[in-house]
Amino acid sequence: MKSHIVLAAVSSLALSLIPGGVASAAPPPAMISWAPCAEDTTAECGTLKVPIDWDTPGGATVDLAVARRKAAIPATRVGSLVVNPGGPGGSGVDFVVHGSSYFSTELRGRFDIVGFDPRGVGRSHPVVCSAALVSERPHPLIKNQADMDAWLSYNQRLREDCRRRTGPLYDRVSSLDVARDVEALRAALGDDKLTYYGVSHGTLIGQAYAERFPDKVRALALDSNFDHSVNTASYLNTTAAQTAGAFDQFVTWCEATASCALNGEDVRAFWRRLLERADRGELHEPGRPDVPLGAYELVDTAFAGLYNPNWAELAQMLVAIDTGGPHPAASAQKDEEVRVSTPVFCQDFHLPVTDYRQYASLLRRQAARAGDMRYSTAALGRIAGCLGQPTPIPNPQHRLRVDGTPPILLASSLNDPATGYQWTLSTAKQIGAEAGADGAFERLP
C-alpha cells in the first residue's frame, strides 16, 4: 500500500557491527554480458554467476537473472538503482522489464534501473517442489495437536522433496545470502557504492546489506519494512494489529463512499453476520455451491482486498459471498512441479511454536488484537509453513546493528495489513532514529 506515506531519514549510530564485521575483500567482480531482453528489447537482460555458498566461493555456483533499463539522460547519469519488489518471491527482472514506469521520470533519467531475481526465485534457479505434494498442504488454521503433528510431518516431507528437486541452493536462499549477491551485483555494475530500493521482504535484503557492507552504501530506500527483531508472539501480535487497522480503514471508506457496494449498510454488523454464517458452514465460494467457505477463508478473502488495496472489489466480493453471486473459475494446476517461496521466509525468521497449547494461547492473543478480522491469515500461514524448520537458520532475527552508512530512508503506509507502519517505526529506532511529536524522525544523540 502506498497511500499516506510516512518517510523517515535514519542515521546509523549503533556502535557494534554484526558478528564477523564487514565481509573480507571480494575476488575480482564477475561480469554481466548484456543483451536485449526477449520479452522487451528496449530493456537489457543478462546473468551474474555467484557462489551458492559464499563461505566456500570456489564451490558450486548459481546464475542470477538480471535486467536493466539504462538512464534515459546519459549526461546526468548518477549510477545504477538496484531494485527488489519483495514477496518473498517477487521478480526484480519483471519489475524492470514490465514495471519500470513505477519509477519517476527523474529517476529513470538519472539512473540505470536494475532488477534481479533473488537466488531461488523466478529465473534464478527457483526452489521447486512437487505440485501434488504442495496440494496436500494442511489447513493453515491449526485446531488441535493432531493438526500440528500433521503440519510437522508435512513440512518435513516438503523440505525433503524441495531440497531433492532444487539441489544445494535450497538451504542457501536467505536474505543474508541475497545481500551478499547484491554486493557482487554492485561490483559487476561498476558502481563504487550501492543505491538500492527494496519493498516489503526486499527491505530485509537492504537491512542485511547495510549491516554487512556499510561502507559500500550510497543510498538505501526501504519501503514497507519488515521488523527483523520480532519473535513468534510479537510477530503474530503486530500482524494482527496491522490487519485490524486496515479493516477499520476499509469500513470508514465504505461508509463514506456512495460507490461502495456496502454503502448504507452497517458494514461491521454485515461482516460479523458473514463470519457467523461461515462458522455455521452456511457460506460457499460465490457461484460454486460445492465449495464451502469457512471463516478462515472468508478472512483471507478480506485480507487480499485490504492488501492490494482494492476496497471497491472487496465490497463487491463480500456481497457476492453473501448472495452466492458469480465467481470466475480458478485455473487448474497442471505442472508436475511448482515454485515456492516458503524456504526464503523460514530461513529469515525462526518462529517456533512448541505445541498446540502454546499455539492456542498465541491465537487468543492475536484475536484480541485483530478485532473484526480475528487474525492475520498471512501470518498464520507463515507460522504453519515454518513449523519444524531446522535450526540454526541462516539469517536469524536480531536487533539491527548498523554503523557507518549514510542516512537510510524508510517508508511505510499507515494501513498496510502485511508490513505495517509499526514495523517501520521499530526498524527506525533500531537503526538509530526516534519519531518526534510531529511524526518526523530525528537522530538520537
Question: pLDDT-derived band of residue 338, with 50, 70 and 90 as boundaries?
Answer: low
Instruction: Locate 281 and state its grid cell.
Output: 458452514
Q: How far is 18 from 205, CA to CA, in rounded Å?
A: 15
Mean per-residue pLDDT of the chain: 88
The 8-class DSSP code of residue 331 comes to: P
What type of residue is 214? P
Question: pLDDT-derived band of residue 339, with 50, 70 and 90 as boundaries?
Answer: low
The DSSP secondary structure of 396-409, one letter per residue, reads -------BSPPPEE
Per-residue pLDDT tens for 367-385?
Answer: 999 999 999 999 999 999 9
Q: Which class does domain 6-127+173-229+399-443 fall in?
A: alpha beta
Report which of 78, 373, 107 is spatially closest to residue 240, judged by C-alpha positions: 373
- CA–centroid distance for 95 within its chain: 15
Question: pLDDT-derived band of residue 114, with 50, 70 and 90 as boundaries?
Answer: very high
Q: How far is 126 from 311, CA to CA, in rounded Å?
A: 33
Report which of 262, 226, 193 is spatially closest to residue 349, judged by C-alpha positions: 226
**Window from 218-222, 248-252, 328-332 with minimum mean pLDDT:** 328-332
Q: Is the pLDDT of residue 332 over 80?
A: no
CB atoms within 10 A of CB 140: 20
Q: Is the pLDDT of residue 429 over 60?
A: yes
Per-residue pLDDT tens for 275-321?
Answer: 999 999 999 988 788 889 999 999 999 999 999 889 999 999 999 99
H/E element holding 243? helix 232-256
User: Percent of the chain having pLDDT more than 70?
Assistant: 87
Question: Residue 290's pLDDT is what?
Answer: 82
Question: Residue 27's pLDDT is what?
Answer: 61
Q: What is the mean pLDDT of residues 93-117?
A: 94
The 8-class DSSP code of residue 76 comes to: G
Question: Where are the chain's structural domains?
Answer: 6-127+173-229+399-443, 128-167+231-397
User: Percent of the chain having pLDDT more than 90?
Assistant: 79
Diameter of the chain measured on Cα atoms = 66
Per-residue pLDDT tens for 34-45?
Answer: 999 999 999 999
Per-residue pLDDT tens for 226-246?
Answer: 999 999 999 999 999 999 999
CB atoms within 10 A of CB 216: 20
Intra-chain end-to-end CA distance of the chain, in Å: 33
Question: Residue 324's pLDDT is what?
Answer: 85
Q: Is the pLDDT of residue 415 over 90?
A: no
pTM: 0.88
Report which of 118, 120, 116 is spatially closest to residue 169, judged by C-alpha positions: 120
Question: Residue 337's pLDDT is what?
Answer: 57
Q: Per mean pLDDT, which of 320-324, 345-349, 432-436 is the most reliable?
A: 345-349
Backbone φ and ψ of 208, nearest 5°: -65, -40
Per-residue pLDDT tens for 59-89?
Answer: 999 999 999 999 999 999 999 999 999 988 8
What type of residue is 229? S
Question: pLDDT-derived band of residue 341, with 50, 70 and 90 as boundaries?
Answer: confident
What's the number of CA atoms in the CB half-sphere (13 Å) around residue 444?
13
Question: pLDDT-derived band of residue 327, with 50, 70 and 90 as boundaries?
Answer: low
Question: pLDDT-derived band of residue 31, with 50, 70 and 90 as boundaries?
Answer: confident
Q: How far is 445 from 442, CA to CA, in rounded Å?
A: 9
Higher pLDDT, residue 393 or 1: 393
Q: How far is 283 from 324, CA to CA, in rounded Å?
A: 8
Higher pLDDT, residue 436 or 356: 356
